[in-house]
């Protein structure tokens, strides 16, 4: 394999690894925000008795949004893992 192709392949593998690390960070952040939001709505609802209707609307909409974020991040992690496997397979084939 020539040096230029190997350099491009190595750079691609490094980019995939860096993207995966960022995605895990974003996944943890989104999960943390979901837990924080659920806890804050529960505390507000406990302190204010008349807050039930507004809290249900807020709770439902934000849980839906954060759940969608978690699903998209999970899907992107799966795609990233498959990309990494393909690039490593190309690397292994090129060394033969």
pLDDT in tens, 26-79: 878 878 887 887 788 777 777 776 666 776 777 788 778 878 888 888 888 888
What's the confidence (pLDDT) of residue 51?
Answer: 65
Q: How many CB atoms sit inside 10 A of residue 30's CB?
A: 20
Q: What is the pTM of this model?
A: 0.56
Cβ atoms 67, 35 nearer than 8 A: no
Contacting residues for 24 by C-beta, under 8 A, at least 6 apart? 77
Cβ atoms 84, 20 nearer than 8 A: yes
CA 49, CA 58: separation in Å to the nearest integer?
Answer: 15
What's the confidence (pLDDT) of residue 50?
Answer: 65
What's the confidence (pLDDT) of residue 44?
Answer: 74
What's the confidence (pLDDT) of residue 66?
Answer: 78
What's the confidence (pLDDT) of residue 83?
Answer: 82
In the chain, the number of structural domains is 1
Cβ atoms 30, 69 nearer than 8 A: yes
Domain hosting residue 15, numbered range: 3-95
């Amino acid at each position: 394999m020539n040096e230029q192709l190997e350099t491009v392949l190595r750079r691609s593998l490094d980019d995939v690894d860096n993207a995966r690390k960022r995605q895990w960070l974003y996944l943890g952040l989104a999960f943390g925000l979901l837990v924080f939001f659920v806890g804050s709505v529960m505390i507000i609802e406990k302190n204010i008795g008349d807050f039930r209707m507004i809290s249900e609307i807020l709770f439902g909409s934000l849980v839906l949004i954060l759940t969608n974020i978690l699903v998209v991040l999970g899907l992107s992690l799966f795609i990233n893992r498959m990309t990494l496997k393909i690039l490593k397979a190309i690397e292994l084939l090129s060394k033969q």
